[in-house]
C-alpha cells in the first residue's frame, strides 16, 4: 500500500498540473484574442486593437501573478508568464528573463525556446534568435521553429558572397516549405512561405514562377485562415509584388487594406500615396509630352534617324528573346499588346521621373509621329538614367495597357516594360554592366 504522504504528494502534483493547465489556457485565449481580433470586431475598430490587446494582457498577467508565489520555480509557469508578455509587439526584458529561466530549468521546453527566440528577434539580436530556433529544432521538428528560422535567415545582414546569400535564401524557402508540410492548415506558415518566395524572386533574377508561387501561398493562407486574411503585413508584402508586376489596381487595394487593418502604420499609407502620385505624374507628363515646347520637340525629332538603331541594324544582333537578325524600326502607335518580335521602338526622351518609392526608372519618349509612350526600366543602378533629348531604342518592346481605378481616381495609358537597362540602346550605344543594380535592393521585407 502507498504511504499517505505519497498519495498526498501525487494529488498535489495533479492539482499543480491542472492549475498550470488553466494558466496555459488563459494565455492561449489571450493569443486567440489578438490573432482573431477581427472575428469579433469590425475593421473600423482596427485603431483600438493594440490598446485592447494590451488591456487583455494586463488582465491575464494579473491572474498569473496571483499564482506566482506557488509556482515561481516552475518552468511551465515561467513559460506562460513569458508567453503572456510576448503577446505585445515590442521587446520585454521581463519576458526574456522568465523564458531564459524556463529553458534553464527544462532544456527540452520547445515552446520556451521558440518564444525566447521571438523576444531576441524583437530585441534585434538575430544571432541569439537563430540559436534559439535551431536549438528548439534539435529537441523536436516543429512548424514554429522552422518558419521562424526561415524568417531569421532572410533578415540577417546579407552575405558578402552573392552565392552564399543565394544559398541562405534557398534554405529559408526550404524551411518554410517544411513548416507548411507539417501542418497544411496553418495560415501563418503559408504566409511566411509566401514571403520566402518573394525574397527569392527579388534576389534570384525575378523568375515569374517564384512570383506565382508567392501569390499562391498568400492565397492559400487567406483561404484556410481568417486571421491571415486580416494580416496587414500579408496585404502590404503582396502589394509590393503587385506593384513590381505593374498590377497597379491590386497594389493600391493591398496598401489601402494594410493601412485600414493597421491605422498606425505609416508605410502602408505612404506607399498608397506615392503610387497614386506616380500615376498622376506619369499620365500628366505623357499627355503634355513632358511639357517640351512644340518647336524644341520638332528640332529634337528632326535629328531622329534609323542610324540611331546602332547594333540593332546588324544581321548578327541577338534580341532579348534570343532571335538573331536585324530589327525593323517601328512607330509607337503600331506596337501591339505584349511582346513585339522583330521590331525596335525608336524615339526621343521628353521626360524622366525618379519619384519617391519608385520601383522603376520611368521616362517618356516621343517618336517621329509625335506619339508619346511611357517606358518603365527595372533593376537600374542609382547612377543610371536618361536625359531629355537622348535617343533611345527599345529592341522587341514589351507593351502593357494600364487601366487603373482606385477610390475616386482612374488612369488609362500604355507603357513599355524593360526588365534591365542593359536591354536598351541609348544614343547608339549599348549600356554598360554597372547600369544594372543587384535586384534585391528594390525590396525590403516587412515585419513578418
**Grid cell in block for residue 281:** 505624374
- Classify residue 344 by its DSSP letter: E
**Could you tell me the pLDDT band of residue 365, with boundaries at 50, 70 and 90?**
very high
CATH of 279-433, one of 2.40.50.550, 3.40.50.720, 1.10.287.3510, 2.60.40.10: 2.40.50.550
CB-based burial, 266-290: b 16+ in 10 Å, e otherwise = eebbebbebbbebbeebbebbeebb
C-alpha to C-alpha distance for 36 and 230, rounded to whole angstroms: 9
C-alpha to C-alpha distance for 192 and 221, rounded to whole angstroms: 9
Residue 337 neighbours by CB distance under 10 Å: 10
**Grid cell in block for residue 403:** 487601366
User: Is the confidence at residue 166, as pLDDT, over 90?
Assistant: no
Can you tell me which residue has the cell 524644341?
296
In this prediction, residue 438 carries a pLDDT of 63
**Could you tell me the pLDDT band of residue 448, with boundaries at 50, 70 and 90?**
low
Mean pLDDT of 37-56: 93
CATH class of 26-278: mainly alpha
Sign, CA dihedral 250-156-129-185, equals positive
C-alpha to C-alpha distance for 296 and 155, rounded to whole angstroms: 50
Phi, psi of 374 (to 5 degrees): -85, 140
Domain boundaries, the chain: 26-278, 279-433
Mean pLDDT of 190-213: 91
CB 56 within 8 A of CB 33: yes
Mean pLDDT of 137-152: 97
- What digits encode the pLDDT tens for the residues 71-117? 777 999 999 999 999 999 999 999 999 999 999 999 999 999 999 99
β-pairing, 409-418 vs 398-406, is antiparallel
**Could you tell me the pLDDT band of residue 421, with boundaries at 50, 70 and 90?**
very high
C-alpha to C-alpha distance for 329 and 307, rounded to whole angstroms: 10
User: Is the confidence at residue 415, as pLDDT, over 90?
Assistant: yes
Amino acid at each position: 500500500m502507498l504511504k499517505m504522504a505519497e498519495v498526498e504528494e501525487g494529488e498535489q502534483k495533479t492539482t499543480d498540473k491542472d492549475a498550470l493547465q488553466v494558466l496555459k489556457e488563459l494565455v492561449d485565449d489571450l493569443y486567440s484574442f489578438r490573432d482573431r481580433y477581427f472575428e469579433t470586431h469590425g475593421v473600423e475598430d482596427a485603431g483600438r486593437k493594440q490598446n485592447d490587446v494590451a488591456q487583455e494582457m494586463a488582465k491575464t498577467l494579473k491572474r498569473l501573478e496571483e499564482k506566482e508565489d506557488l509556482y515561481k520555480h516552475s518552468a511551465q509557469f515561467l513559460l506562460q508568464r513569458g508567453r503572456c508578455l510576448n503577446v505585445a509587439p515590442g521587446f520585454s526584458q521581463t519576458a526574456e528573463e522568465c523564458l531564459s529561466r524556463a529553458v534553464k530549468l527544462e532544456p527540452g521546453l520547445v515552446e520556451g525556446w521558440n518564444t525566447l527566440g521571438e523576444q531576441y528577434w524583437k530585441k534585434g539580436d538575430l544571432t541569439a534568435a537563430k540559436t534559439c530556433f535551431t536549438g528548439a529544432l534539435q529537441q523536436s521538428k516543429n512548424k514554429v521553429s522552422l518558419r521562424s528560422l526561415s524568417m531569421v535567415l532572410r533578415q540577417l545582414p546579407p552575405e558578402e558572397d552573392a552565392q552564399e546569400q543565394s544559398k541562405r535564401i534557398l534554405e529559408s524557402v526550404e524551411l518554410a516549405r517544411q513548416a507548411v508540410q507539417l501542418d497544411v492548415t496553418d495560415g501563418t506558415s503559408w504566409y511566411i512561405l509566401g514571403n520566402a518566395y518573394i525574397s527569392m524572386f527579388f534576389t534570384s533574377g525575378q523568375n515569374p514562377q517564384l512570383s506565382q508561387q508567392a501569390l499562391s501561398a498568400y492565397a492559400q493562407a487567406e483561404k484556410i485562415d481568417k486571421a491571415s486574411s486580416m494580416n496587414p503585413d500579408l496585404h502590404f508584402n503582396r502589394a509590393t509584388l503587385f506593384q513590381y508586376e505593374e498590377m497597379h489596381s491590386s497594389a493600391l487595394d493591398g496598401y489601402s487594406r494594410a493601412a485600414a487593418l493597421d491605422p498606425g502604420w505609416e508605410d502602408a499609407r505612404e506607399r498608397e500615396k506615392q503610387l497614386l502620385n506616380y500615376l498622376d505624374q506619369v499620365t500628366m507628363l505623357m499627355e503634355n509630352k513632358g511639357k517640351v515646347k512644340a518647336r524644341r520637340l520638332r528640332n529634337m525629332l528632326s535629328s531622329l534617324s534609323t542610324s540611331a538603331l546602332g547594333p540593332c541594324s546588324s544581321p548578327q544582333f541577338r534580341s532579348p528573346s534570343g532571335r538573331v537578325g536585324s530589327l525593323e524600326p517601328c512607330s509607337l502607335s503600331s506596337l501591339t499588346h505584349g511582346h513585339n518580335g522583330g521590331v525596335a521602338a525608336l524615339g526621343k526622351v521628353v521626360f524622366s521621373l525618379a519619384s519617391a518609392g519608385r520601383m522603376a526608372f520611368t521616362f517618356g519618349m516621343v517618336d517621329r509621329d509625335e506619339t508619346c509612350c511611357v517606358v518603365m526600366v527595372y533593376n537600374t543602378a542609382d547612377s543610371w538614367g536618361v536625359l531629355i533629348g537622348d535617343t533611345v531604342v527599345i529592341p522587341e518592346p514589351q507593351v502593357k495597357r494600364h487601366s487603373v481605378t482606385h477610390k475616386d481616381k482612374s488612369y488609362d495609358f500604355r507603357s513599355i516594360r524593360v526588365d534591365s537597362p542593359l536591354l536598351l540602346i541609348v544614343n547608339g550605344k549599348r549600356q554598360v554592366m554597372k547600369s544594372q543594380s543587384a535586384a534585391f535592393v528594390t525590396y525590403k521585407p516587412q515585419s513578418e
